[in-house]
Structure 1
Amino acid sequence: MFYRPEDGHGLPHNPFNAIVTPRPIGWISTRGADGSENLAPYSFFNAVAYVPPQVMFASTSAKPDRDGTKDSVSNIRETGEFCVNIVAFEMRDAMNKTSGPWGREVDEFEHAGIERAACETIACSRVAAAPAALECKLTQIVELPGEANFTVFGEVTGVHMRDDCIVDGIFDVLAFNPLARMGYRDYTTVREKFSLARPGD
C-alpha cells in the first residue's frame, strides 16, 4: 500500500500514528504565570542532545481557552520552564487521567490524585513518584506547518532519579518498566533489554 497524506489513506484510523513506534512519553508539568499548575502526557517527545542535555516535545492540538495551543505550551510561553516526568508502567492509569481536555482551571495533579514534589532549578512541581524527572529551561518554541503544531525545546537544568532505579551504577529502565505509546489507543512497556557493541568499541 502507498498513499499520499494529502489524499488520505482510506483506512479506519490514521496509520501514521502507529508507524513511528514505540514513542517515549513525556509527562510535562508546568506552572502558569498565575501560579496554576498543569500536568499532561505527550508522546511526541525525546532527548535531542547530550551537551548540554536537551529535550523536546510537540503539542499538536488546541483548546478554546488557550489561544491556539494547549495549557502546557501556554504556560511555558509565560514562564520559560517545564519539567519532563518519565512514566512507569504502574502510573499508566494516572497518566491517562491527565490526558483529558480539562479546562485551564483544573489541576491535573489533584484531579488524578498524583503526589507532587518541588523542583530544584525551576518553579513548578514534578511527579514525586516518577522514576526520573528532567527540569528544563525553555530554549525555543518552533511553530510547525499545520494548525496548532508547536515543538518545545528545553535545556535540562536538573535531573531527579529514584534511588531504586539506579542499579550497579546505571539508571536501569527494567527497574520501573517505562511506558511507551504505540499509536491509536495502544501502549507498551519495556520489560527486557539487550546490548550491542558498536563498531570500533
Structure 2
Amino acid sequence: MFYRPEDGHGLPHNPFSAIVAPRPIGWISTRGADGHDNLAPYSFFNAVAYVPPQVMFSSTSAKEDRGDTKDSVAHIRETGVFAVNIVEVAMRDVMNLSSGPWDKEVDEFSRAGIDKAACDTIACARVANAPATLECKLTQILTLPGAANFAVFGEVTGIHIRDDCLKDGIFDVLSFSPLARLGYRDYTAVRETFSLKRPGEE
C-alpha cells in the first residue's frame, strides 16, 4: 500500500507510530519554578551528539492547564533543565502510570510510588533506581510544524549509572533490559545483543 499522510491511511490505527520502531523511551523528570516535580515518558527520544553529549525528546500534545504544551516542556521553559531516566522492563507499570494526563500540581513520583533522588548538576529530581540518568541543561526548544509539536534539546551535564548495570567496565543493557516503544499499545524489551565491526575496524 501507499498513502499520503495528508490524505489519511484508511486503517483502523495510524501505522506511522509502528514503522519507526523500536524507539527508546526517555523518562523525563522536571521541576517547575514553583517547585512541583513532574515525571513523564516520551518515545520520541534519542541521543544526538557525543561531544559534548546531547539528547533530544519531542512533546506532541497539550493539556488544558498548560496552554500549548504539557508539563515537561512548560517546566523546562521555566528552569532550563531536565533529566532523562532510562526505563528498565521491571519499571514498565510505574512508567505507564506516570504517563497519565494528571493535573499540573500532581507529582508523578508520588502518585506512582517511585523513589526520587536529587540530581547533582541541576535543580531537578531523578528516578532513584533507574539504570541510568542523564542530567541535562536546555540548549534549544524547536517549534515543529503542527499543533503542540516541540523538540527539546539538551546538553548532558551529569550521568548516573546504577552500579549493577556496569559489567567489566561496560554499561550492560542485558542486566536490566531497557524498555522500548513499538506502535499502538505495544512495547518490547532488549533481551539479546550481537556485535558487528565496521569496515576498516580492527
1:146 corresponds to? 146
What is the CA deviation profile of residues 25-82 of structure 1, one whole-angstrom value per residue up to 9, with x for unaligned ones?
0000000000001000000000000000000000000000102000000000000000
- Letter of the aligned partner of 1:69 in structure 2? T
Partner of 1:24: 24
- Whether 1:9 and 2:39 are equivalent positions in the alignment is no
| Matched position secondary structure for 1:65 | helix
- Whole-angstrom CA distance in 2 between matches of 1:81 and 1:15: 33
Q: 1:6 & 1:99 partners in 2: Cα distance? A: 28
AA of the residue aligned to 2:33? A
The separation in 2 between residues aligned to 1:112 and 1:184, in whole angstroms, is: 23
Q: Secondary structure at the match of 2:65?
A: coil
Shift of 1:183: 1.1
Residues 1-201 of structure 1: pairs in structure 2 closer than 5 A: 1-201=1-201
**Which secondary structure does the structure 2 equivalent of 1:90 belong to?**
helix
* Distance in 2 between residues matched to 1:167 and 1:198, nearest whole Å: 24
CA RMSD of aligned residues (A): 0.3
4+ residue segments displaced more than 6 Å: none
1:132-174: CA deviations, max 9, x gaps? 0000000000000000000000000000000100001100100
Question: SS of the residue aligned with 2:182?
Answer: strand
Of all paired residues, the percent bearing the same amino acid is: 79
Write the letter of the residue equivalent to 1:13. Answer: H
When normalised by structure 1's length, the TM-score is 1.00
Secondary structure of 1:99's counterpart equals coil
What is the CA–CA distance in structure 2 between the aligned matches of 1:37 and 1:165, rounded to whole Å? 26
TM-score normalized with structure 2 length: 0.99
Structure 2 CA distance for aligned equivalents of residues 122 and 70 of structure 1: 21
- Specify the SS of the correspondent of 2:64: coil
The separation in 1 between residues aligned to 2:69 and 2:46, in whole angstroms, is 20
Equivalent residue letter for 2:51: V
